[in-house]
Structure 1
């Protein structure tokens, strides 16, 4: 049985990823600083601060010992609040970079130490963001970290081949239980969804299905890749100002 670890797997996108791996038959371990408010299927919860290198190494070793291996790591933990680059203390922006870039590197190293000795190697999936490839006002440190994360994945894919494959899922907007906090209310969520070509936000489980694919044998020749999961992207702002009719 495949053993998968999902960081930040207690809610939102992380919980959707964990459920998708469970549906695929995996033995799933979710980790975060605090336990989930309610069970995420039958996933096992282990507490972890992904910024603590020693704790990451201990968790990966424990999972391998108690579950018989560590086949998949999904680096999902991350996030940020809204803060303009010139506002707040510099240390606050640095902590955003630490959580969204340094922590995935630390956790990936810990997982690689286990995976490289396994007969089947392993697979690591980074959860990136479109904020890393377009302007991200109000979340500049986050966007910069996600840009770095995609580059990190490409580098690790080369350094750790052929034992471990490393890929990135680049997320657009996802509908989670906290979506209304970002977009105001249901009307705000609907308005934002209207800017997406497919007409809606992604569901957490859809993110999970993409992760399952990248971690599976069907993607055995896929490494160093970035799979964009954004419903077609965002409609360019100039289209709203143009007067040309479109069918």
Structure 2
């Protein structure tokens, strides 16, 4: 069975949408017919035939700091806006480029390894700003446009916010806060705007090895489904949650069944 979506005429914003999971989400919405805008602090990389969501960057007549990237899916392309979503003024400028907005996917996030002991308070603050405060700002500024269209917000959460996250405690705490924020906004903005969360588990991206101790081959030993999530897996959940419907305040886990606890290996291995 194949599930298809028609987002023709819809305007979609994907924060952090120039690489990895964000690029996969942007490409999926573009393939479904949406007018897609991505934002990041740096422009997308040049086109690569194997890069999902990557595209050739061309100048846009809309002004400095705004470019358009042609998606690998073809068509009219994906617009790029340079913006740091931690900065309220830049978020205002970003949202000000829209006349209409139907979907916001708050994907921008992440953290370097940051053990609490010995890591600067400023780094922890910046991690929380990116993973919790920035999605709040973007959603808040986008709300009037989304309310006008009966739109939706999709937060990209993390398994790190649903279980202990040693080594990235600030990130895990911020993601836990993001999951709660989505539930609060879903209640506060109903019935005009729906807000849901995709809780992503171990994911296979180019940055994966940085997060998993140099390993990019985690499989059935860690994940019941036998493989890590792909950007396409996450994008499929986003397409469903952003489509008009009844579901709001939900957390959809895209984690392949979770993570197999270490004790299973301890009791089964010689």
Q: TM-score, normalised by structure 2?
A: 0.83
- Equivalent residue in structure 2 for 1:169, among 198, 221, 236: 198
1:24 matches 2:53? no
How many positions carry a matched residue from both structures? 235
1:122-161 pair list within 5 angstroms: 122-161=151-190
Distance change >3 Å, CA 194–CA 239, structure 1 → 2: closer
8 Å CA contact retained: 1:61, 1:114:
no
Report the counterpart of residue 240 of structure 1 in structure 2. 265
- Structure 1 residue 183: deviation in Å? 3.7
Report the counterpart of residue 78 of structure 1 in structure 2. 109
The C-alpha deviation readout for 1:2-24, integer Å capped at 9, x for no partner, is 11000000000100000111111
SS at match of 1:112: helix
- Equivalent residue in structure 2 for 1:5, among 1, 9, 13: 13
- Structure 1 residue 171: deviation in Å? 0.3
Residue range with higher mean Cα deviation, 30-39 or 147-156: 30-39
Report the counterpart of residue 224 of structure 1 in structure 2. 249
1:198 matches 2:225? yes
Flag structure 1 segments of 5+ consecutive residues without an equivalent: none
1:61 matches 2:92? no
- Structure 1 residue 189: deviation in Å? 2.0
SS at match of 2:216: helix
- Structure 1 residue 61: deviation in Å? 2.5
- Structure 1 residue 79: deviation in Å? 0.4
Residue range with higher mean Cα deviation, 36-45 or 3-12: 36-45
- Equivalent residue in structure 1 for 2:78, among 31, 39, 43: 43
Distance change >3 Å, CA 2–CA 89, structure 1 → 2: same
Distance 2:230 2:205 in 1: 7
SS at match of 1:58: helix
- Structure 1 residue 184: deviation in Å? 5.5
Distance 1:26 1:209 in 2: 14
SS at match of 2:199: strand
8 Å CA contact retained: 1:183, 1:192:
no
Structure 1 residue runs of 4+, over 4 Å off?
none
Flag structure 2 segments of 5+ consecutive residues without an equivalent: 1-8, 47-54, 56-68, 72-76
The C-alpha deviation readout for 1:142-180, integer Å capped at 9, x for no partner, is 000000000000000011111100000000011112223
Distance 1:190 1:199 in 2: 11
The C-alpha deviation readout for 1:78-121, integer Å capped at 9, x for no partner, is 100001111221111111111100010000001102222x1x32
The C-alpha deviation readout for 1:17-53, integer Å capped at 9, x for no partner, is 0011111111100000110012260211011110111
